[in-house]
Structure 1
């Protein structure tokens, strides 16, 4: 069963960092969580939008996912259109899906965490 970590807030929000901590903890346990960036959270991986906190880079910490076998973060096609973004605007690979595809995936999971 896939654990979904849904990030919904801007990079500077405290909840963003809590969500990332949970994501990295699950990844280190080899549970392969699925990161989903929604709305304002798109900026978390957007080029030129990195945020640092206590001398830690949000985007560099997301780069740690490359050390684990985690799937590429999901972004919603409709959110990209609304924000005028494409997959080239992100610092790492993302997988673009429709809102309907996300809802179908979420309906099959019992583990969804929202930050």
Structure 2
């Protein structure tokens, strides 16, 4: 069973922090949630887009996912909407998928949380 955490808001949006809190909570329970970043949420994984709130870095907290053996996030990569770049543009490993592929995965899961 895979639990998907879908982020759609830019890093500055409060929902981004709520989604990350849920993601990390599930990770600490060893449920290995799958993070999915769509639209404005792609900035969560861009090196130059970190947001700090209450002395906490959004991107440093994403670094905890490796400690919990969570899978690399899925990033939407349709040719018309994705900005391609080199590996230095991203804070870590990721799996690029088209929106259609992501939608197909989410349709097969009964555990999807959107933030």
- Category of TM-score, reference length = shorter chain: over 0.9
Structure 2 CA distance, aligned partners of 1:50 and 1:81? 24
Structure 1: tracts of 5 or more residues without a match: none
Structure 2: tracts of 5 or more residues without a match: none
Identify the residue that residue 60 of structure 2 maps to in structure 1.
60
Displacement after TM superposition at 1:38 (Å): 0.4
Map residues 1-115 of structure 1 onto 2, 5 A cutoff. 1-78=1-78, 81-86=80-85, 88=87, 89-115=89-115
Q: Match of 1:2, SS?
A: coil
Normalized against structure 1, the TM-score is what? 0.93
Structure 2 CA distance, aligned partners of 1:63 and 1:40? 20
Q: CA RMSD in A?
A: 1.3
1:40-94 deviations in Å (ceiling 9; x for gaps) = 001111011100000000000000001012110000111x752523362211111
Runs of 4+ aligned residues of structure 1 deviating over 3 Å after TM superposition are none
Aligned residues: 114
Normalized against structure 2, the TM-score is what? 0.93
- More divergent stretch after superposition (19-28 vs 91-100): 91-100
